[in-house]
Amino acid sequence: MKPVEINEMLSTCPIAYLVWGAHEWHGVHNPVGLDALKAYYMTMELCKATGGVVLPPVYCGYQTMKPWQGFRHTFEFSRELVRQYLYEHLENLYEEGFRVIIVVMGHYGDKHVEAIKSGVADFKEKHDYPEVMAIADYEPASWINIRGGDHAGKNETSLMMHFRPDLVELSLLPDGKLDSKYQGCTEDAKEATPEHGTMLAEVFVKQAAPRIKELLQKTMAAWPTQISQGN
């Protein structure tokens, strides 16, 4: 987006989406970095429903497959770096004038999620606005009891098959039962289909969009004076 386009969005629908993933092994059948890729495409669809802007995805994961089982092609960052990097993103978006900031986590190890939410808490302690919400990309589906999260299994692989089928090759999976310890994916990966991915993507948007619109209405009512948007 050009500066004039960003300024127009700030005056009409000041929502910023920050997609947070990891550079991490996701089985032999998926692209490295799947977390950020599928969350980015999911968020782009969500943004079409709500308005706002989607920032380039961040590849900065903590609690990845690397320390767990030594998987290659995986970058592991420290908790403190993830927390601080997230916090500084929020400060910059605050200075830009966004009223709602949604962090969509495509990588969701428990410790990683805690680090992200810790950065959000630090920001909220300092600022009364904007509204900030950090969610894993599977959470909106869980609001209606649909399981959407796994690691390179049926759900994540299906989402990639929906958005980028050219990046998935199920035939590379070994015969027989899959063991996450050795393959780095959940055992149901072979059940992935584009149709399942389409369903998960649609549920994500349908469930998340109304809540985000409500957040925007809330903060615009509470803080009607537009903060500085810079130059």
DSSP codes of every residue in 5-71: HHHHHHHH--EEEEEEE------TTS-TTHHHHHHHHHHHHHHHHH--EEPPPEE--SS-HHHHH--
Residue closest to 39 by CA, chosen among 213, 187, 163, 203: 163
Residue 225 banded pLDDT, cuts 50, 70, 90: low
pLDDT digits (tens, 9 = 90+) for 12-70: 999 999 999 999 999 999 999 999 999 999 999 999 999 999 999 999 999 999 998 89
CATH of the domain at 18: 3.40.50.10310
The answer to whether residue 22 sits within a structural domain is yes
Whether 230 is in a domain gets the answer: no
Q: How far is CA 74 from CA 77, 187, 224, in A?
A: 10, 20, 44
The residue whose two tokens read 């969350």 is 39
Residue 189 lies in a domain: no
pLDDT the model gives residue 222: 86
**Is residue 136 in some structural domain?**
yes
**pLDDT confidence of 228, banded at 50, 70, 90?**
very low
Task: Flag whether the pTM goes above 0.85.
Answer: yes
- Considering only CA atoms, which of 85, 79, 93, 77 is closest in space to residue 17? 93
Our count of domains for the chain comes to 1
Asked whether residue 167 is assigned to any structural domain, the reply reads: no
User: Is there a domain that residue 1 lies in?
Assistant: no
pLDDT digits (tens, 9 = 90+) for 112-164: 999 999 999 999 999 988 999 999 999 999 999 998 889 999 999 999 999 99
CA distance 214 to 217: 5
Residue 30: which domain range?
Answer: 13-147+205-217
